[in-house]
Amino acid sequence: AQSVTQPDIHITVSEGASLELRCNYSYGATPYLFWYVQSPGQGLQLLLKYFSGDTLVQGIKGFEAEFKRSQSSFNLRKPSVHWSDAAEYFCAVGGSGGYQKVTFGTGTKLQVIP
Amino acid sequence: DTGVSQDPRHKITKRGQNVTFRCDPISEHNRLYWYRQTLGQGPEFLTYFQNEAQLEKSRLLSDRFSAERPKGSFSTLEIQRTEQGDSAMYLCASSLVDGELFFGEGSRLTVL
């Protein structure tokens, strides 16, 4: 069964500092991988996705993520965090074709301090 | 593209009552998903459709939950004999096959 682990429940960073949110997945074939962001009272918004090709993917708001098959990881990074990045971040895994659902992790809540 | 819309946005009901949520996906999307989210948790998969076919239903979902997508367009999620543990945000998302999910704003259920 597919699954996602986000080991960090809560992370606090200073504004302007770099950020890395960890995501490990379990999937039997080549996965589709996603990062979503959810601000308080808002819906889930896609930050970026990996389907194939270049393992370093760029997303919106200056985020990027790197797919590492050998480590079953898809960590999210940002070089300089802004106060508006405070939100909850969810990693998700799905599969190509056929009957594939998308499974989400439990999320990492990001706090940004001035 | 008007996005995914869900109705109602908030439902308060008494334990034992039935509730129904509706989701209108993005028109050209053939996949539709239902998730449940409780405070501090990630979206938990409930079920999904490809066109009108329900392809998978979570084993965690009791028989009190049923979903339909009769013509491959909008979908309904019905919860019968609601329990307090059903209180949650119910999220709908749609996608193309092998595509990213686009989420609605959610329908919040409160069971008293």
Q: Could you read off the pLDDT of B51-94 as tens digits, one per residue?
A: 999 988 998 788 999 999 988 899 999 999 999 999 999 999 99
Query: Alpha-carbon distance B101 to B31, whole Å?
Result: 9
In this prediction, residue A101 carries a pLDDT of 83
Residue found under tokens 């996005």: B3
CB B20 within 8 A of CB B76: yes
Mutate to test the interface with A, among B5, B23, B30, B45 (most CBs of A within 10 A): B45
A102/B45 touch (CB, cutoff 8 Å), yes or no: yes
The mean pLDDT value of chain B amounts to 92
B45/A104 touch (CB, cutoff 8 Å), yes or no: yes
Higher-pLDDT residue of A100 and B51 is B51
Residue of B nearest to A89 (CA): B42
Query: CB A83: neighbour CB atoms within 10 A?
Result: 10
Tokens representing B73? 């367009």
Q: Does B101 touch chain A (CB under 8 A)?
A: yes
Query: Alpha-carbon distance B7 to A22, whole Å?
Result: 34
Give A108 to chain B, closest Cα distance, Å: 9
Residue of A nearest to B50 (CA): A99
CB A35 within 8 A of CB A18: no
Confidence of residue A6 (pLDDT cuts 50, 70, 90): very high
Confidence of residue A16 (pLDDT cuts 50, 70, 90): very high
Give which of B21, B31, B27, B29 is closest to B2, Cα–Cα. B27
In this prediction, residue A55 carries a pLDDT of 92
Higher-pLDDT residue of B1 and B76 is B76
Nearest to A49 among B48, B56, B100 (CB): B100
In this prediction, residue A53 carries a pLDDT of 87
Report the pLDDT averaged over residues A4-16.
96
Query: Alpha-carbon distance A94 to B3, whole Å?
Result: 21
Give A98 to chain B, closest Cα distance, Å: 9
The mean pLDDT value of chain A amounts to 92
In this prediction, residue A2 carries a pLDDT of 86
